[in-house]
Structure 1
Amino acid sequence: MQVLAKLCLIPLAFAFPSQRRADRPVYWLLAGDSTTAPKGGWGDGFLATTVAPGSSGHNYGHSGATTASFRSGGDWAKVIADIGTFKKDYEVYVTIQAITLFGHNDQKSNSGVTLDQYKTNLQQFAAESKSAGATPILVTPLTRRTFKDGKVVENLAEQRNATISVAQANSIGFIDLTLKSENYVNALGQSVVSRYNYQPEDWTHLNEWGGVVFARIVSDLLVGKFPVLKAATKANETMSALIEAGKPA
């Protein structure tokens, strides 16, 4: 506890993904809640369709997780252990979906996690990832697909802004999945995006194809911001073009 307390007081300087060794494959460790997890999130689609041969990863997304329970329940310890296992042969990246996404569950009034605690937890995850030998990348929350007056209800703004604030204050790499996914969902409209719902009235979680589509958004954001990751990525130019045009993929 003393180590973590001191860690929070020290300005953090993290290496950005542009510093990774180009001669080694990437191992992705995906940390988050049900919007990253198998059967409802984008994580499995990311690993199955966007990761180039030779690179790999593991989806640690956990349904119902908050930034607090992901640690207390033992998930984070597994992520740290995997960093130690795979850093010998891979460049290891940890995507910490702040609502990947922890933000969805931290946002709930009964989560027991305040916005300040949420920010501290993200910072600690990133610091511990770096200390263990990985590169952390914060991911702002995946938008919900609920609409009002023809537009997506933007109810994750606090968690998005908090995630970006932590990243910028501590020189941590991040991608803004909230903004990109909101823009795409708005472009398609509610009747079209319903095809991605895990269940007919579930406007938060993704079915298998929805996971593939939004995983492509994540991958394109990563490569767009950190071009060095292109060599470890499997492109899908057709799907990427449809997404950029605001058309159904």
Structure 2
Amino acid sequence: MFSSLAVSLLVATLAAAAPGILTIGDSTVTDDAGWGKGFCADTTGLARCINLAVSGTTTVSWQSQPQYSSMLTECKNANTYATIQFGHNDQKVMDTATFASNLESLTNKIKTAGCSPILVTSLCRRTFSGSTLTDILGPYSNQTVAIAKKLDLPVLPLLADCMTYIQKLGKPNAMQFNLDYPNNTDTTHLNAMGSRYFGRMVADEVKKNVPALTGNIVADPVLSAKIAAGTL
């Protein structure tokens, strides 16, 4: 009986110690149009991997969603991390200084709730001028990097990684990630293949930049090599 009780207590202790991850952001993080589902599929040994991203939201409007309350509850669980990626919708309605202030405020709220924040720069849009990938999210991603440095938090350079990969890949192949492929009117959101590739990109950055979660990332050397080489 004692042995069984000891084993049960050990299992419970190990389960309680397992980390959890929340993914917070706009539509480019959601399960149905972003990289969140692909990222969670690349994890192992987590207590939970919960997507709290909401389409159309900014650093401000996300806080009025039910997912904000869910974050407050989930962050009470020990050893819970939260990836935070905004910018796509903020860029439409606020300048970079306001975005930085709002992102810092939201990040501090998430940290105060009990989570360990991980900032993520925006997923790039797959828009081209001729054969050159264009970008208007850079100034907002620069602010994300600056806030991470100010708060001494890890930051995942998804925008830079995305732009490097898509530029190598070229426009015809990049369109295959579009949510509405082959119509290709939506070069922002991701289909299932896009979620897999860019979820992998985020997972590799977590493994590189968040040592505490290295053991929770499942390696996929074939896909990682394709991303590094700029191929499908």
- Name the counterpart of 1:5: none
Larger Rg: 2
- Name the counterpart of 1:126: 107
Cα distance, 1:74 vs. partner?
3.7
Distance 1:247 1:78, change over 3 A: same
> What's the CA shift string for 1:150-171, capped at 9, x where partnerless?
1110111111111111111221
| Cα distance between partner residues in 2 of 1:202 and 1:149 | 17
| Cα distance between partner residues in 1 of 2:30 and 2:208 | 24
* TM-score, normalised by the number of residues in structure 1: 0.82
> What's the CA shift string for 1:176-218, capped at 9, x where partnerless?
1000000000010010011110012211000011101100000
| Cα distance between partner residues in 1 of 2:46 and 2:105 | 30
Of 148, 152, 156 in structure 2, the residue corresponding to residue 167 of structure 1 is 148
Residue 52 of structure 2 corresponds to residue 60 of structure 1:
yes
Contact kept? 1:151, 1:186, Cα under 8 Å: yes
- Name the counterpart of 1:12: none
Root-mean-square deviation (CA), in Å? 1.7
How do 1:182-221 and structure 2 match up within 5 A? 182-199=163-180, 200-221=184-205
More deviation, 66-75/136-145 = 66-75
Of 114, 121, 137 in structure 2, the residue corresponding to residue 140 of structure 1 is 121
- Name the counterpart of 2:72: 80
| Cα distance between partner residues in 2 of 1:169 and 1:197 | 35
Residue 18 of structure 2 corresponds to residue 25 of structure 1:
yes
The higher relative CO (CA closer than 8 Å, separation ≥ 6) is in: 1
Identity of aligned residues (%): 33
| Cα distance between partner residues in 2 of 1:203 and 1:53 | 34
Contact kept? 1:43, 1:59, Cα under 8 Å: yes
Q: Note the residue ranges of structure 1 that are not aligned, 5 or more in a row.
A: 1-20
Cα distance, 1:227 vs. partner?
3.1
* TM-score, normalised by the number of residues in structure 2: 0.87
| Cα distance between partner residues in 2 of 1:114 and 1:77 | 27
> What's the CA shift string for 1:108-152, capped at 9, x where partnerless?
1xx3x3322211221122212222221101000000000113111
* Secondary structure in 2 matching 1:58: strand
